[in-house]
Amino acid sequence: MKFLIVGLGNIGETYSNTRHNIGFVVLDALAQSAETKFSADRYANMAKIKFKSRILVLIKPSTYMNLSGKAVRYWLNKEKIPLENLLVVVDDIALPLGTLRLKAKGGDGGHNGLIDIIYHLESTEFSRLRVGIGDDFAKGYQSDYVLSQWTKQEEEVMIPKIKIAGEAIKSFVTIGVGRTMSMYNK
């Protein structure tokens, strides 16, 4: 069985340790735990790992956040992965810092990366792992907030959550979205 695991973020050093790039960070940690590395490929940096007889195709789109859909559609088609085996890891300002929420399907929540993926797939029927980054910003400063660096205190909260997010991904590919939701959506 093959799964496409997509971490959303923006490429480039400018964005490397920003809140908006938590999807990239989760996939980097997952690849590192499997002792594999990402390599540049079409529309994304890609790595493959095996876990319990499953192949996980990990991609970090190189199209920038707001144009992620093109990369997701390309890799689903290239690897012949069904939509039910897609999981998108995304930051979410509507969740408190460090909160993880797995959803089997749903809307875009105003997230530009999800908006573009839904547009390109013409579907909302895919799973997403939402990682809470909090909403500690003044009205009108959302963009500045999500594109700014983590504070030391936020990093201390997030480091263990990144590992738990990797465990949730492994659970998703082995026992499915429903049972994984009941385990991790606390």
Q: Which residues contact 23 (CB under 8 A, 6 or more apart)?
A: 6, 7, 8, 9, 60, 88, 89, 90, 91, 131
Average pLDDT over residues 71-97: 97
Cα separation of the two ends of the chain:
28
Type of residue at 24: F
Residues 6+ apart with CB under 8 A from 114: 8, 88, 90, 107, 108, 128
Which amino acid is located at 32 in the chain? Q
Query: Is the per-residue pLDDT at 100 higher than 90?
Result: yes
pLDDT score at 139: 87
Q: Where are the alpha helices (DSSP H) in the chain?
A: 22-33, 68-79, 112-121, 142-146, 152-175, 177-184
Task: Reply yes or no on whether the pLDDT at 153 is more than 90.
Answer: yes
Active site residue 120: no
The pLDDT score that the predictor gives to residue 71 is: 97
Residue that the structure tokens 């997403």 belong to:
128
Q: Which two tokens stand for residue 34?
A: 């499997």
Domains of the chain, CATH where assigned: 2-184 (3.40.50.1470)
Asked if 6 contacts 88 with a C-beta cutoff of 8 angstroms, the reply is yes
What's the mean pLDDT in 132-149? 89
**pLDDT score of 20:** 92
Task: Tell me which of 6, 18, 20, 89 is the catalytic residue.
Answer: 20
Phi, psi of 47 (to 5 degrees): -145, 150
**Banded model confidence at residue 136, pLDDT cuts 50, 70, 90:** confident
What average pLDDT does the chain have?
95
Taking only the tens place, the pLDDT of each residue in 12-35 is 988 988 999 999 999 999 999 999
User: What pLDDT is stored for residue 186 in this prediction?
Assistant: 77
Cβ proximity of 37 and 45 under 8 Å: no
